[in-house]
Amino acid sequence: MRVAGTVQESIVDGPGLRFTVFAQGCPHRCEGCHNPQTHDAHGGTERPVSDIISEMLKNPLTDGLTLSGGEPFAQAGDCAEIAEAAKKAGLNVWIYTGYTFEELAGAGDGGARRLLGFADVLVDGRFILAERTLEYPWRGSRNQRLIDVRRSLSEGRVAEL
C-alpha cells in the first residue's frame, strides 16, 4: 500500500486513542486541504499491508482505526484489509473520504463497497474552503457529514450521527 504515513496514538482523528493511516494519493485535490502532500499518487512510501496491520495492533490501548488521506477509497482493497483486521481486533473504524456516502454505496467497485462495509463512521464529502469551520468536531467544512455507516446501510438512507 502507498501511504503518506501513520500515527500510532492520534486523539484528533475520531474519538479515543486511534491508529491513523494516511493513504497516499487523492483525486479530489481540494483547495485548502490540510494534507496536500498526500495528493500525488506516486508520493509517500510503499508498505506491506501486513506491516501496517502489525503496527496497528502493537498498542493494546488503541480504541480504533482511522483511515484518512489522501483518499482511502483510491486504495480500497488494501484499506479494506486493514479495516477487517481492525474489526477482528475489536477496534472501531472511521474513514475520511472526499466521496459522499451515496457515491460509495452506489459504486460498482466491489473494493469500495467492501471497505465501506467495515466502517463504523464515515466522514464524507470534499473539503470546501469557503465552508471551513472549527465548530464541527472531526470535520473541516460544514458540508461534511458524520455518518453511522451500519445504520445507513441497513436503512438504505444516510443516518447522521
Q: What is the pLDDT of residues 77-126, one digit of tens each?
A: 999 999 999 999 999 999 999 999 999 988 767 888 899 999 999 999 99
Q: What is the DSSP letter of 141?
A: B
Q: Does a structural domain hold residue 54?
A: yes
- The count of domains in the chain is 1
Q: Does a structural domain hold residue 75?
A: yes
C-alpha cell recorded at residue 142: 460544514
Q: Does a structural domain hold residue 55?
A: yes
Distance CA 72, CA 131 (A): 23
State the CATH number of the domain containing residue 64.
3.20.20.70
Query: Is this structure's pTM higher than 0.85?
Result: yes
Range of the domain at 58: 2-155
What is the per-residue DSSP string for 72-109?
GGGGHHHHHHHHHHHHHTT-EEEEE-SS-HHHHHT-S-
Q: Does a structural domain hold residue 80?
A: yes
- Is pLDDT of 66 > 90? yes
Q: Does a structural domain hold residue 160?
A: no
C-alpha cell recorded at residue 41: 499518487
Least confident of 25-39, 73-87, 118-132: 25-39
